Amino acid sequence: MILSRRHRTFLLAFALLCTLLGLGYPLSCEVCKGTGHSCSGKMKTCEAGKDACVVLVGESSTKGRKSVNTFKACMKLKDCFSGFVSTTMSPNDYMVSNARCCQSDGCNSVSVLPPLNNRTENGLMCPSCIAPFQETCPGTEAARCVGQETHCIYFAGNVQAGIINTKFATRGCATESACHTKAGAEVPSASYLYFLHRADCLPASYPPGRGE
């Protein structure tokens, strides 16, 4: 059977489409970092292996110094969590964030609602420590969990802030959503980028003598 020119053109176009779908186009995401509840930046083609866009708004307190920041970038979908996360190491050291992960070009150009920051103690407690420049910390202090925090975390690895990359270790309270994070993950916060070598997450407990 002799195919017409129109049919040959159609088959060629169909084969090309199948090839392109098989190879896949690299994802493009908006990339920015700024203070406040929003930021805007240029579109960037994601590097190999990063198959999701993220937009994250976070509030943090370091030794009582509070800040609100927004972060948009490419990342691996398996490392990306959509929703609310809260961690507390002490009354003056905590981070809360709300994030959205998506997989279409420029899908992180939108804004997300700022996280609810409920600092009301819920009675649970966890070992606590913050150890910059170190790979471990003992957790000899105790953190009082707040709001929806029902788990204890122990995160360690490297943290990057601009061109500075250093070791860190920390323990404290967290929402169950923090258990989504696994060792080997590259996890953004509103201010830093964490490369985790350790990511333990266990249910928190009430202090001795409180039978709940």
Residue 16 has pLDDT above 50, yes or no: no
pLDDT digits (tens, 9 = 90+) for 140-199: 999 999 999 999 999 999 999 888 899 999 999 999 999 999 999 998 887 888 999 999
Q: Structure pTM?
A: 0.83
3-state SS, residue 175: coil
The burial of 89, by beta-carbon neighbours within 10 Å (0-12 exposed, 13-18 middle, 19 or more buried), is given as buried
Q: Which domains are assigned to the chain?
A: 27-203 (2.10.60.10)
